[in-house]
Amino acid sequence: MSKTSSTNNSVIQPRSSKSEQSLSVHPSNVIEPSMAKRICFYKSGDPQFNGIKMVVNSRSFRSFDALLDNLSKKVPLPFGVRNITTPRGVHNINNLEDLEDGKSYICSQQKKIKPINLEVARRKPLPWQISRPISARRKAVQLTRESKGSMFQQGSTIRLSTPKKLLVFKNGNAKIRCTVVLGKKNTQSFEAFLDHISELMQYSVLKLYTTDGRKVSSLQGLILCSGAVVAAGREPFKAGNYDPRRYSLPARLPGVSSRVHPQANLKSESRKTMKWKVVIFTSDQPSSGTSSQVYITLYGEQGNSGAVFLYGEEKKVFERGSTDTFMIHTEDLGDLYKIRIGHNNSGETPAWHCKELQLQNLVTGEKYDFSVEKWLMQAQNEGEISQELPVLHQGHPILPVAMYKVHVITGDLWNAGTEADVYITINGEKGDTGCRQLHRSMKSQKHMKGQTDTFSLEAVHLGHLYKIVIGHNGLGSGNGWFLEKIVVQDPITNSDYIFLCYRWLDQGEDDGKIVRELNVIDNYTIARSKYKPKSLGKDIPEKKWKFQKGNILQFYNKMTHGFIRLRQDGVVDAVGDKKDKNGLFEVTAKKGRLCVLRSHPNPQLALTLAHGSVTGMNYADNHCELQVHVQPNHCAILESSQNPGQVISFNFQGMVADDNTGYAGLTKEFVVHVKGIFHNSAIILLATSYCQFLCLRSDGSCSGAGNQADDSYWKVHKISSGICMFENAKHPRMYLRIKDGQCNGTGIGDVDCHFKVQKNLETGSVSLESLRNRGIYVGLLPNGQTKPFVDTGESNVLFYPQVVKFGRKKPMGTSANLAQQEDVFRESKQQFAGTQNLVSGRRPNPPPPSEEMMTIQNEESPFPSEDKWKVFILTGNSGTKANVTLWIYGDKGSVGPIILGKDNREQLFLPRTEDAFQVEMKDIGNVYKIRIGHDGSSQYADWMLEKVTLQHLKTGRFLKFPTNKWVSWNEGNGNSVCELSVAENGRSLYPIVNYQVYVSTGHLEHAETTSSIYLCIYGERGDCGLRLLAKSDQPIKFQRGITDMFEIQAVSLGNLQKVLLCCKSDNQLQDWYCEKIIIRESEKNSENIFICERWLPYMSQGIIHSEIELFVHGKLYKLNLEEY
């Protein structure tokens, strides 16, 4: 899911009754349905968007939806064009007949539109209508007139985004310059941007260079620039003093002032200029001179000078043994604390040995001496072509020089690595490092799949780091890089700074960007001794296709090395053989993740978890409903829907777990195998990772780094038992094959295309062994390309099949009819249409959280045991008629929710009465806490709970839980759930903790939501249950760019481990962008940070997920200054 921000500078159309009538009243003459209508469509809230002129008739668009889909490709809206209205939004257009010839309409993604002034939008000249460039004087006059007559007078509030500003110099003449704001209008293509610069500079601009002479050839390259470029025609780059800091002026918003001031008047408003004398001594060592362009950057307390290039007009400079003197001008930078000297590595002899540098401020008379004595060349030392030097005060540096360690982690996806040059800029409170190439890794090859590269980067200490800019020069699709994260180690403070990415830097992937700006996690540091790297939670591969109605499944237990089986007498174990028919289960789908697993040989029986026992019962019994939880390791957990928290589990001998089975001796995860995957004519996907698939390229090669698309569908041709061929469904008669040491998709259906399918019981994956070349398998290189491999136990020969369309049981041979192939593929594409809604941007409404999800269970589920307890609940002065539920936690597990008296609640929980209930639960060890609450379903839900007591009937032991608090949304702390710790000798075993939960909503457009948000906190002592975040410290919850604070009261969870976040969104317009969650514990000086940075609900492989698990990424420890 993605959202697009836009500037809110639209102009409301004047309220003219005539204009509205002309747009809404139909013409008197009757228009035939087949007659063409010429319509112009504009974008909601964007007066800079060029109108889309279209001819609409019944032949060009069969339906109104077809028109919406076509407009979605032309009008850039996050969710596509979903609504068309008249310009002021009064009338909605719902069919083609409502459109009027010659009229204009507004396109939007929601019913509420942002009106624009059509008269202004229509007056904007088209590119081919511009006869000559507009002069600066003429442009100033136009701005003055527009500001005088504009409805935005001085004092009006204008909300704009912060686009990148670029200072453009004329090649060879730094005095001629202009400032450009990069926006949607002028960055639709690189050629359009050059045209825009040509118009502003009033001469033909054909090339752009950075200020140090490197050519800029794309829009992405502009981001790498230091805020300034040099515009040239056909001539080569000419060196000059292109100093962006010298000419930067405060920006003015249009319409804020009623006058346009000349540039000469603004010059006096800038800071005073400093004049510097720079003397540089080049060493007399052999070949110590350089042909490169040398620059210097000064850093002071009030800013930096930017790169100032030093060049000689009358003689060559920086030759061996030479002393060169330069005069430069900068703004007043305040107290100087460091400089950077370097070159651009250009020319035939770029290497340079700088001996010494002297700097004198000619205004204040201050002098600075810097001893360099270093080669600046990529073939020496660390390959640096720049050197940072701190200012000395009384012989000691003001700031120390730090050797930062930069750990770059490349993602573990196919083709995630890159051979491009990677550049980084680290920003801190004491300036930046400048753009540095990550040149020398401690590994022989840099930036490989799943690899961590470590680089050394020397710089004057930057203080607290807050962001980095990372990018590369690998242009073109497929030449990118998947960056997982970057960790920068500061040796001065012994701290690590973590910058998460988990995105592609590839022009053919994601958003096409090859440069990204990454902020440090929560702008905090993690002490190295406390930091433990954790991988960011990835999307789990979608396995729901396995549990479609009618599928035949087997459940393999990795501990017992056997299959779950259900015998005729109802006994269940996990020691079945692969060929044992009692281990086959047919799926009967119910709803959501619920299903019934009926025994295939005995259809009247189904796998059941009832009263803590795994057995076989009649399939119509409610206890047969199981909830499936798919795990990242390709396993599944089967949980009872009637008794959440109880899961199907066995001991290591394959028998159903009993009271004597400890948690360490349990196994509850099963590998799911589907029968009939490789039946003849089946259409399958061969997944290589959680988001990549084996696909056929246009040149006949195969890659495991493809997306789920037409070229990733394969048709199975079954030759004999376990022997198959795989034909690409998009390109008929092109088969996967291994021949002459090559693996590709150019097979013709001969024996080179025959593969033995070897199934891996432990992972659910398959390997494809060549029948002609035994022992040789289809494998993947790190870049995803297929190649014949010997199986060495690595994962590069494993594929995870997913069935799109099941085939027939008996093989048809190798000459299947082409028409049959196309029919099967067409059906398969229709079946998967729900997962491929990418063109129109539509998607089904996300379902609300299920009842099962609304109660979070401890993952360490309890084991079956007969144990009877009595529960006494004493109500205070206010009773409740809502449904009351109870959870009980022990050191071996938990049980719940237990619904108390659901059949007779009208007579329960009355004021000043005590109610008693008898419950039968499993052995959960020593009970240490309970959680009790109600669902607020009654008008009289506010409940004053005074005391809860548990009695173990067998031993007579009492467990007391003193309460005396409100369980209510309206009273007390405003929560319908409370947790209580068991009391021993009048004192609670564990304290009650007020967890302060800070939820930060992102700054993206439409990030806010009115949906219900739920949170569950997990720790080493269980969880707090899924809580509704109801009472915020803000007047309106979950607003864009705002952090809300909530309080969750729970028995101490110990060290926190993760949280579960859920957004109950009714429609896509109520989706929410969560940035992060911070949890602080009362009376502790630390806080736990959970990074989210994504939309909720979110779509993964066509399935909408409303919940996400976030793991602790570190702790922030606060210093108590009173102790020092």
Closest CA to 871 of 853, 893, 888, 892: 888
Which amino acid appears at position 140 of this protein?
A: A
| pLDDT over 60 at 752, yes or no | yes
Q: What does the domain layout of the chain look like in residue ranges?
A: 37-123, 170-232, 275-397, 401-529, 545-674, 682-805, 867-988, 994-1117
CATH code for residues 682-805: 2.80.10.50
Q: Are strands 893-899 and 977-981 parallel, antiparallel or unpaired?
A: unpaired
Question: In this prediction, what percent of the chain has a pLDDT beyond 70?
Answer: 79
Of 605-614, 803-812, 858-867, 1022-1031, least confident by mean pLDDT is 858-867
**What is the CA angle 993-997-999, rounded to 5?**
175
363 versus 793: the higher-pLDDT residue is 363
pLDDT digits (tens, 9 = 90+) for 12-28: 333 333 333 333 334 33
Closest CA to 1022 of 832, 877, 776, 856: 856
- Tell me yes or no: is domain 867-988 CATH 1.20.1280.290: no
Mean pLDDT of 696-718: 91
1072, burial (CB in 10 Å: exposed 0-12, middle 13-18, buried 19+)? buried
Q: Are strands 868-875 and 943-952 parallel, antiparallel or unpaired?
A: antiparallel
First vs last Cα of the chain: how many Å apart? 49
| pLDDT over 50 at 157, yes or no | no
Mean pLDDT of 469-477: 81
Mean model confidence pLDDT for the chain: 78
Of 124-133, 636-645, 725-734, 1069-1078, least confident by mean pLDDT is 124-133
Domain 37-123 CATH superfamily: Doublecortin domain (3.10.20.230)
**Phi/psi at 210 (5° precision):** -75, 170
User: In the structure, what pLDDT confidence band is assigned to residue 122 with cuts at 50, 70 and 90?
Assistant: low
Q: Which pLDDT value is given to residue 499?
A: 94
Mean pLDDT of 990-1014: 89
Q: Which pLDDT value is given to residue 216?
A: 85
Residue 542: DSSP 8-state: P
936 versus 334: the higher-pLDDT residue is 334
pLDDT digits (tens, 9 = 90+) for 832-847: 333 333 222 333 333 3
The radius of gyration computed from the CA coordinates of the chain, to the nearest angstrom, equals 35
CA pair distance 308, 305, nearest whole angstrom: 7
Mean pLDDT of 779-791: 90
Mean pLDDT of 521-536: 43
Q: Which pLDDT value is given to residue 715?
A: 94
**Phi/psi at 98 (5° precision):** -75, -20
CATH topology of domain 545-674: Trefoil (Acidic Fibroblast Growth Factor, subunit A) (2.80.10)
Residue 259: DSSP 8-state: S
| pLDDT over 80 at 123, yes or no | no
Mean pLDDT of 1072-1099: 85
Mean pLDDT of 942-960: 85
Whether this model's pTM surpasses 0.75: no
Kindly state the tokens that stand for 540: 């789990």
Q: Which pLDDT value is given to residue 770?
A: 93
CA pair distance 171, 176, nearest whole angstrom: 9
**Phi/psi at 523 (5° precision):** 50, 45
List, in sequence order, every beta strand (DSSP E) within 697-772: 702-706, 714-720, 723-728, 735-739, 742-747, 755-759, 766-770
Which amino acid appears at position 377 of this protein?
A: M
Helices (H), 428-478: none
Q: Which pLDDT value is given to residue 842?
A: 31
**Phi/psi at 346 (5° precision):** -110, 170
Sequential DSSP letters for 502-532: EEEE-TTSTT--SEEEEE-GGG--EETTT--
Residue 904: DSSP 8-state: S
Q: Which pLDDT value is given to residue 822?
A: 41
Q: Which pLDDT value is given to residue 832?
A: 37
Question: In this prediction, what percent of the chain has a pLDDT beyond 90?
Answer: 24
CATH code for residues 170-232: 3.10.20.230
Of 260-274, 372-386, 864-878, 981-995, least confident by mean pLDDT is 260-274
| pLDDT over 50 at 262, yes or no | no
Q: Are strands 572-576 and 585-589 parallel, antiparallel or unpaired?
A: unpaired
Of 159-173, 419-433, 474-488, 1053-1067, least confident by mean pLDDT is 159-173
| pLDDT over 60 at 542, yes or no | no
Q: Which pLDDT value is given to residue 268?
A: 38
pLDDT digits (tens, 9 = 90+) for 285-297: 998 899 888 999 9
pLDDT digits (tens, 9 = 90+) for 226-257: 678 899 988 888 877 777 766 543 333 333 23
Closest CA to 1002 of 970, 954, 1041: 1041
Q: Which pLDDT value is given to residue 1?
A: 43
Q: How far is CA 342 from the centre of its chain?
A: 37
> Highest mean pLDDT: which of 192-196, 471-475, 494-498, 974-978?
494-498
| pLDDT over 90 at 724, yes or no | yes
Q: CATH top-level class for 401-529? A: mainly beta
| pLDDT over 70 at 153, yes or no | no
Mean pLDDT of 1046-1072: 85
Of 172-186, 326-340, 644-658, 1016-1030, least confident by mean pLDDT is 172-186
pLDDT digits (tens, 9 = 90+) for 655-703: 888 766 666 668 888 999 999 999 999 999 999 988 889 999 989 999 9
Domain 994-1117 CATH superfamily: PLAT/LH2 domain (2.60.60.20)
| pLDDT over 50 at 8, yes or no | no
8 A C-beta contact, residue 893 and residue 1023? no
Range 275-397: architecture per CATH: Sandwich (2.60)
Q: Which pLDDT value is given to residue 673?
A: 92
Kindly state the tokens that stand for 844: 């089904």
Residue 382: DSSP 8-state: T
Taking phi first (over 0 means left), then psi (-120 to 50 degrees means alpha), and beta for anything else, what does residue 476 get? left
Which amino acid appears at position 1026 of this protein?
A: L
Q: Which pLDDT value is given to residue 26?
A: 40
Q: Which pLDDT value is given to residue 663?
A: 65
Q: Which pLDDT value is given to residue 125?
A: 45
Domains 275-397 and 867-988 alike in fold? yes
Mean pLDDT of 1003-1018: 89
